[in-house]
Amino acid sequence: MTANTSLNSNKPALMLEARALTCVRGERQLFSGLNLAVSAGECLHVRGENGVGKTSLLRLLTGLSKAESGEVFWNGLAISKEPTQYHRELLFLGHRDALKEDLTALENLQLYAALDDVQLPEDKALAALWRFGLRGRECLPVNCLSAGQKRRVLMARMLTRQARLWILDEPFNALDIHAVQALQGLIAEHLEQGGLVVLTSHQEVSLPQVRTLDL
Amino acid sequence: MNALLAIIRRDLLVVMRRKSEALTALFFFVVVTSLFPLGIGADAALLRKIAPGVLWVAALLSTLLGLHRMFAADYQDGSLEQLALSPQPMVLLVVGKIIAHWIVCGLPLVLLAPVIGIQFDLDVSSLYVLMGTLLLGTPVLSLVGSIGAALTLGVRGGSVLLSLLILPLYIPVLIFGAGAVYANSIGLDASGHFSLLGALLILALAFVPWVSSAAVKIAIE
């Protein structure tokens, strides 16, 4: 805990903010004038029916797509101005696993670490995979793993990525009860260390610092 | 720089695990170029004359076979989004993917060309010129092709559209590549052709990565 307080004290408070976001998909306006703010240690749970624009909102927050109007700010800076700095602190997990099927879980982790500029020694990567129940499967190609196991590889990536802001699209999909608990534990840990989380889920999320946004 | 090596290594590893796709393009090159001597017969003078054109056209087509894979697989499994969200400049990652494509689809053609050239009764100096033009020309093919591969991402029937888009752009490379070998075989100086191919390569290197990465960004949005 001491490490956390020192981190918080010498860094300005982390803050993700969106002002007056409007999202248009094709002819349809999904939402307009949407404001939100998430600060360090908070989790925002975006809820809503299918097709209401949850994924579109998350993609706007990552900067993958541009809003019709409005702007997203990270620590007070517009993310379109400083994308590299923002991406360094961001981890986005979408619907698709984004794992190379022909490579092993370990290789996938290591390649992403190299791309994300994160130092990841092999023992640390293995420890992360073992923590999520992939012991003995770390050297299998990912296409030999089940859907739930692939999501577990992604949980190992969350653990090793060292990002401050997690944006997770349906992270509980395809997970069994134990894995759901493990993921909730992982998110709680991240929040405790002063991280930020924005997620969508159709299930109830039992986390301490959770706020909900209904689209 | 680390990221560039990482992306090249990743793409080569994926190809190594699924060799069939890369080998298809190579076998295509070998088979097509071997059909001509078989079909035309033992007219050595004629074979020598058509060799540069046949080899270069086969090289264009076999490069084209592997092009649509350059970004499509990453686009489908969501890795392309993750690359766009990594703190690395997209241009660097696109350059890495182009280099990996060239190592898989271009470099083997350069190395195979002398063996294939023997079937066409090319002399040693022509073989050297052929290898030289391919060495300068195939990177241009991979570079220019990457624009098409990026533009046709997510398009149904993209690979046919890709051929229509990109083949016309390959014409200058074909003309100067085949022209150099022909010029050399009739005793002319081929250095002009080499200079032009080099100029094409430099031009493509200077502009294409930016164009392709812009096209990739549009595709993910």
The verdict on a CB contact (< 8 Å) between A87 and B86 is yes
Q: Can you tell me the ipTM of this complex?
A: 0.86
Q: Determine the average pLDDT of the residues in B97-121.
A: 93
| Strand order through the sheet with A69-74 | A28-39, A15-25, A69-74, A77-78
For chain B, domain boundaries: 2-220
pLDDT for the residue numbered A133: 85
Residues B45-67 have a mean pLDDT of 91
pLDDT at A27: 85
Comparing CB atoms, the residue among B2, B7, B85 nearest residue A90 is B85
pLDDT number for residue A7: 43
Calpha distance A9→A7 (Å, rounded)? 6
Kindly state the average pLDDT of the residues A12-33. Answer: 85
| pLDDT digit string, tens, across residues A58-100 | 999 998 888 888 889 998 888 888 888 889 999 999 888 889 9
Query: For B175-208, how does the pLDDT look when each residue is reduced to its tens digit (9 = 90+)?
Result: 999 999 999 988 888 899 999 999 999 999 999 9
Which one of B10, B11, B71 makes the best mutation probe of the A interface by having the most chain A beta carbons within 10 Å?
B10
The confidence score (pLDDT) of residue A11 equals 52
pLDDT of residue B154: 84
Confidence band for A12, pLDDT divided at 50, 70 and 90: low
Residue A169, pLDDT above cutoff 60: yes
Q: Which chain B residues touch A111 with a CB distance below 8 Å?
A: 6, 9-10
List the 122-161 stretch of A: residues with Cβ below 8 A of B.
141
What residue of B is the nearest CA neighbor of A116? B86
- DSSP 8-state secondary structure symbol assigned to residue A14: P
Q: What confidence score (pLDDT) does residue B213 get?
A: 94
How many CB pairs below 8 A link A and B? 74
Strand order in the sheet with A165-169: A90-93, A165-169, A196-200, A43-47, A210-214
pLDDT, tens digit, for every residue of B60-84?
999 998 898 899 999 998 899 999 9
User: Which among A99, A102, A115 is the nearest to B6, CB-wise?
Assistant: A115
Closest partner residue to A115 (CB to CB) among B7, B17, B81 is B7
What's the pLDDT score for residue B172? Answer: 94
Q: What pLDDT is stored for residue B148 in this prediction? A: 93
Residue owning tokens 């608990």: A181
- State the smallest CA–CA distance between residue A106 and chain B in angstroms: 12
Which has more pLDDT, A174 or B113?
B113
Report residue B131 as tokens: 């290898």
In total, chain A counts a number of residues equal to 215
Is B70 within 8 Å of B92 (Cβ atoms)? no
For the segment B145-153, the average pLDDT, to the nearest whole number, is 93
Question: How far, in Å, CA of A108 to CA of A190, rounded?
Answer: 22
Q: Of B6-10, B18-22, B208-212, B214-218, where does mean pLDDT reach its minimum?
A: B18-22
Average pLDDT, chain A: 86
The closest CB to that of B17, out of A62, A95, A103, belongs to A103
